[in-house]
Structure 1
Amino acid sequence: MHKNEWNLKDLFEDEKALKLCLEKSIEQSLKFRRDYEGKLGLLDSSKFTKALKTYEQILQNISKIMSYVYLHFAGDTSKGGFLAKYENECKKAEENLIFFELEFCELDEEKSAEFIKNLSEYAFYLSNLLKNKKHNLTQKEERIMLYLSNTGANAFSRLFDENMSRLRVSFEGKSLSEEEMLSKLYNEDRKIRKKAAKKFSKALKANLDLNTYVFNMIKSERKIVCELRGYENAEESRHISNQITQKSVDALIKTTEKHFDLVSLFYKKKKQILGFKNLKDYDRYAPIGKEISVKYEQSKELVLKAFNAFSPEFANIAKKAFDERWIDVYPRENKRGGAFSHSTTPDAHPYIMLNFTGRHRDLFTLAHELGHTIHQKLSYSVNFLSQDTPLTTAETASVFAEMLVFDFVKDRLSKEELVGVYASKIEDVFATLYRQINFTTFERRIHEHKEELKSEQINEIWLEESKKMFGESVILTQNYELWWSYIPHFIHSPFYCYAYAYAQLLVLALYGLYKSKACENFTSLYIDLLKSGGSKSPKELISSFGFDIEDENFWELGIKEVEKLINEFMELKI
């Protein structure tokens, strides 16, 4: 195995060890069901504590199994059968555990309050179960939902991944992947950008019927689940899992859309710098200033120095990730596109997937995913049931890490290089903030339709929502109407995208506080936030910095930081 590919032996030595863990998990889950099903109400606090910790350990083992097989699949999407096999086998163990949370929610108030009082480290997890119990189905219905899950949205997600990972585009005598094609949009030659956009659009069009059908099936299943569980709309379950309110999300969207003018301001300036009469969609990422290419080894050095300046604890975790092969670095055949940091279990560590191509943006992607990894690793300090963070705070550490690297790098560049890095950073902020709000309003409109949509209808909605962000500053070509069809979040995690925008503004507000030095113990408070994982609500976590995420004015703090970045860019002498 290459040093720049994952070492999955930290999870399981081989498939034999994997199978043994699976067999043990199924056996333990059967015993757990025999011991406790229908009996939770008869337990005292000490026996309930034992039951809860046994339940947690079985879930942790299942999670470890699924992490191993998923990472194998992400590294080689031709291994879909391997993934499906273990998904189905793990369902056998999960089925035996379904009763536990359902029965806990049916305990009388006095009993559940007693258990929560005596299990303070699990209090937030247990309280959330009770808070959302109205969306539970019966045990028989939950079993049916469990077994059908792999043939519903999950199956279509897998189909989408396998199909897109096989996508190859013939470009200048080479067969290029999605990631390699998208990297061409950053080329300094406008002809290459235009050609790449056209070729990639042609490939998307060839897959349009399939991806439209997949999107419709995701939408249809979500509608059915909402009706069965009594959710008010298609996004409510996401807000619940994110532990925030619809009001908070609406305030975020309203505030962001109110400041779309900042996007136009930037792109009008970029058009002037490039000397173009019109800026087309394929010009958005055209480099300006002196282009910087960054090798992976150089990126490692920069990230470690930037992290260490903030916190040696950050740098130490990142160094372990580099040294101990937590990272799969380069694109290859059948490897999934994009990038992620996959949390596993406290007895192992997170794994990062990159598709590093040497662009300076890859430096910030590395920082982003390492931010996730640091957050995930630190969150192992709480119990397994509480370590997963809601998406709204899960993106906090990643965006913060990007800002640390940006500030570190910008102070070491020439003026010509600084122009390009500033532009790139602003465009990244736009992609994480404004574009994700566009994605969310696009999804809202798609999911409002009860019937299946034709490709042309989805294309039209996509263009209408996208134009809101760019106004008259960027001309969206006809090809761009197809570009919704490669976005994986619409398929894997409906209404995921606003979490990026949520985190972006949240981080900018926090980063502004950090840079102002108004909070002397900022670093320790911030690391405590990360260590808390999902054991506290986002509202409670952020309140330690004196902020209230329910206050509409809070989001304006983040917007002011965006405005500050743009003003600094506008003041650069170019």
Structure 2
Amino acid sequence: MNTEWSLSGMYAGLDDPRYQEDLKQIDVLTAQLNKLVEKTGSMDQREAAVEILKTEEQMVSLLGKVGLYVGLRLAVDTANPELAAQDNLCMKKYAVMAKPLTSAKKFLAKLPEEVIAADEFLSEYSYLLAETKKEVSHLLDDEMEELISSMDMTGGSAWARLFTYLTSTVKVDYEGKTVTLSEIRNMAYSPDKTVRKTAYEAELVSYEKIQDSIAYALNNIKSQVTMLCRKRGYASPLEMTLEQSRMSKKTLEAMLEAMQEYLPKFHQYLRAKGKALGHENGLPWYDLFAPMGASDKRYSLEECRDLLIQVFSGFSEEMSGMMRRAFDESWIDFYPREGKEGGAFDAFADCLKQSRILTNYDGYFGDVDTLAHELGHAFHDRQIEYNRPLNQEYSMPVAETASTFNETHLLKAMLKESEGEEKLNLLESFLMNTTQIICDIYSRYLFETAVFEKCEDSFMMPDQLKEIMLDAQKKAYGDGLDQSCLHPYMWACKGHYYSSGLSFYNFPYAFGGLFAMGLYHMYEQEGSSFVPKYKAMLKATPTASIEEAAAMMGADLTKADFWRESLQAFAELIDEFCKICG
């Protein structure tokens, strides 16, 4: 089994003639789109729309392939100047596309409904065209859109690249050795309390080396987003995010209302865990991810693969078969190393009809769970891979549904087969992850909300950012955590904050976790008949609002009761955990 992903199916390297030819073809297509939008006035409206969308399909597919190849290579070699230059080149090509794409959207937004309905090709894009009408109301003139896209390369996106570079290359001093930030953060899951505490302390110290630069990155990204929101006529960055997410504010408010009601239940879990680990004043941060029960088991890659295939074959042979392929066909880059990004992600490689997954595998069950999560994303990819190219992008909240559903299935399946110390370990692991998507995600939502408010009239240096983060953690975790031992630098290690095009990438995790639990309850009731409906819903996510996709499963997300039912399922598991802990 290869431990690094293979990208040879895309290109053999940056000097591959196919790569160079594709770069040139992107320019040809951009020029072609430019000419098209200039002559739409003299063309038949339907024919012009079809030609524009087919040109956009080619552009998106080709630049997606080139950009993905460069992005994946850069993710595991962040200090490579040649790759950084190619990444910048791709961004320039995106920027040049901005003007004709803006003009095209403005033309497409004027298409009459009857023209769309009368054409089979256009009908496939009926939802996209409806969303385009909404988006156009927030677009500026074509020249300004091109300028914004160009300026972002040396603005928000440049600050984001700086964040990634600093966090992937910072040297962490640990017991006389130098390790990466990913390695030191992995130690939070160690069964050894001394290792966890020492690693936590070393991690906090390491941020002091890069905190000023990262604070500048955060301030400038959020200020840019706020400025553009105002120019585009959005009431706030949150309103813009909700529209981008195809999610109503009623749904977000209903979910947050239910989460706030159930926070005390998660605080109860944290106190019980803290007491079991010998802490009387709540759980200190360094023990937040401490394993419990029979926790010393580590899984080789082969054991991880076999476990996942076994567990998910009971859900869907399609799912387990895809997992086998992922391991056997080099979809996954497993181990941490210098210059590699931290965390984990899944990337849809449409050009291969495959996915590519990055992890920083350390062998503990949490890493197996992470792979199940990312392979859930890959399963979602499989459901939309034969959608038309412009119908393959789904919104942030539903993006975390299939992944979290997989985590739920893995842990529930293993709980049924376990007892004693092993069951305690699995139950606690499940609740630990759930507490992250409830308490920690809520703290991140509060933090980002506060940062957006403050960046309007102030520049936040590291001490102020740490204070905002600690305040958010205290509100979200309450007396579940030891208030004197929190994590003031959580803003400095989460890439979700550092995007000029994607704000509030926090509540989607809570959405995904709670929606997935609701779906899983349906699966437990319906069995195998659930799977085709689930796949159809995933396939529809790029061409429906969040509420419409959920309605396909019979769920009303605008009512707090739906979210309460999911949270109650977690509350029952917390009661079981507390009973075991005594």
1:506 paired residue number:
515
Equivalent residues of 2:36, 2:48 under 8 A apart: no
1:179 paired residue number:
182
Report the TM-score when normalising by structure 2: 0.94
Which of 398, 403, 425 in structure 1 is aligned with 2:403?
A: 398
Mean Cα displacement is larger for which, 490-499 or 40-49? Answer: 40-49
2:218 paired residue number:
215
Report the TM-score when normalising by structure 1: 0.95
Q: Please state if 1:435 is matched with 2:440.
A: yes
Cα distance in 2 for partners of 1:360, 1:477 equals: 29
Cα distance in 2 for partners of 1:36, 1:42 equals: 10
Which of 553, 571, 575 in structure 2 is aligned with 1:563?
A: 571
2:463 paired residue number:
456
1:445-488 deviation per Cα after TM superposition (whole angstroms, max 9, x unaligned): 11011121122222111111101222223113366223321111
The runs of 5 or more residues in structure 1 that have no matched partner are none
- Give the 5 Å matches for 1:315-326: 315-326=320-331
Equivalent residues of 2:274, 2:280 under 8 A apart: yes
Cα distance in 2 for partners of 1:184, 1:100 equals: 46
Cα distance in 1 for partners of 2:569, 2:422 equals: 22
Query: 1:570, CA displacement in angstroms?
Result: 2.8
Distance 1:41 1:344, change over 3 A: farther
Aligned length in residues: 572
1:148 paired residue number:
151
Say which SS state the counterpart of residue 79 (structure 2) adopts: helix
Mean Cα displacement is larger for which, 222-231 or 92-101? Answer: 92-101
Query: 1:89, CA displacement in angstroms?
Result: 4.8
Query: 1:501, CA displacement in angstroms?
Result: 0.5
- Give the 5 Å matches for 1:545-556: 545-556=553-564
Say which SS state the counterpart of residue 480 (structure 1) adopts: coil
Query: 1:344, CA displacement in angstroms?
Result: 2.7
Cα distance in 1 for partners of 2:79, 2:563 equals: 43
1:327-381 deviation per Cα after TM superposition (whole angstroms, max 9, x unaligned): 1011111111110001132544221001001111001000000000111122112
2:488 is matched by which residue type in structure 1?
A: E
Cα distance in 1 for partners of 2:414, 2:401 equals: 20
Query: 1:110, CA displacement in angstroms?
Result: 5.8
1:74 is matched by which residue type in structure 2?
A: A
- Give the 5 Å matches for 1:494-533: 494-517=503-526, 521-533=529-541
1:285 paired residue number:
289
Equivalent residues of 2:78, 2:168 under 8 A apart: yes
1:374-398 deviation per Cα after TM superposition (whole angstroms, max 9, x unaligned): 1112211211111111011111000
Cα distance in 1 for partners of 2:144, 2:538 equals: 36
Equivalent residues of 2:537, 2:549 under 8 A apart: yes
Distance 1:9 1:543, change over 3 A: same
Which of 254, 266, 271 in structure 1 is aligned with 2:269?
A: 266
2:551 paired residue number:
543
Cα distance in 1 for partners of 2:33, 2:480 equals: 61
Equivalent residues of 1:116, 1:127 under 8 A apart: no
Equivalent residues of 1:38, 1:103 under 8 A apart: no
Cα distance in 2 for partners of 1:97, 1:218 equals: 20
1:288-309 deviation per Cα after TM superposition (whole angstroms, max 9, x unaligned): 2111322221111111112211
2:34 is matched by which residue type in structure 1?
A: R
Say which SS state the counterpart of residue 80 (structure 2) adopts: helix
The runs of 5 or more residues in structure 2 that have no matched partner are none
1:302-327 deviation per Cα after TM superposition (whole angstroms, max 9, x unaligned): 11112211011111222221111111
1:476 paired residue number:
483
Cα distance in 1 for partners of 2:525, 2:317 equals: 21
Equivalent residues of 1:389, 1:533 under 8 A apart: yes
Equivalent residues of 1:40, 1:103 under 8 A apart: no
1:139-176 deviation per Cα after TM superposition (whole angstroms, max 9, x unaligned): 00011011112111110110011111012212123322
- Give the 5 Å matches for 1:34-45: 34-39=35-40, 42-45=43-46
Cα distance in 1 for partners of 2:109, 2:35 equals: 22
Cα distance in 2 for partners of 1:61, 1:146 equals: 19
Q: Please state if 1:486 is matched with 2:485.
A: no
Distance 1:152 1:81, change over 3 A: farther
Distance 1:324 1:107, change over 3 A: closer
Mean Cα displacement is larger for which, 385-394 or 42-51? Answer: 42-51
Equivalent residues of 2:332, 2:357 under 8 A apart: yes
Cα distance in 2 for partners of 1:466, 1:43 equals: 58
Cα distance in 2 for partners of 1:70, 1:180 equals: 22
2:567 is matched by which residue type in structure 1?
A: I
1:545 is matched by which residue type in structure 2?
A: M
Cα distance in 2 for partners of 1:113, 1:154 equals: 40
Equivalent residues of 2:109, 2:129 under 8 A apart: no
Q: CA RMSD in A?
A: 2.1
Q: Please state if 1:381 is matched with 2:386.
A: yes
Query: 1:90, CA displacement in angstroms?
Result: 5.4
Cα distance in 1 for partners of 2:286, 2:391 equals: 43
Equivalent residues of 1:62, 1:90 under 8 A apart: no
Q: Please state if 1:24 is matched with 2:25.
A: yes
Which of 200, 205, 208 in structure 2 is aligned with 1:205?
A: 208
- Give the 5 Å matches for 1:52-91: 52-89=53-90, 91=92
Distance 1:40 1:62, change over 3 A: farther
1:377 is matched by which residue type in structure 2?
A: R
1:384-415 deviation per Cα after TM superposition (whole angstroms, max 9, x unaligned): 11111101111100001111111222233341
Cα distance in 2 for partners of 1:169, 1:280 equals: 21
Query: 1:498, CA displacement in angstroms?
Result: 0.6
Cα distance in 2 for partners of 1:52, 1:321 equals: 32
Query: 1:186, CA displacement in angstroms?
Result: 2.4
2:341 paired residue number:
336
Say which SS state the counterpart of residue 127 (structure 1) adopts: helix
Distance 1:362 1:110, change over 3 A: closer
1:6-49 deviation per Cα after TM superposition (whole angstroms, max 9, x unaligned): 11112223322211111112112212322332416732424422
Mean Cα displacement is larger for which, 190-199 or 475-484? Answer: 475-484
Say which SS state the counterpart of residue 341 (structure 1) adopts: strand
Cα distance in 2 for partners of 1:85, 1:573 equals: 54
Cα distance in 1 for partners of 2:492, 2:101 equals: 39
Q: Please state if 1:122 is matched with 2:125.
A: yes
Query: 1:533, CA displacement in angstroms?
Result: 4.1
Cα distance in 2 for partners of 1:86, 1:183 equals: 28
Distance 1:482 1:347, change over 3 A: closer
Equivalent residues of 1:251, 1:552 under 8 A apart: yes
Query: 1:434, CA displacement in angstroms?
Result: 2.3
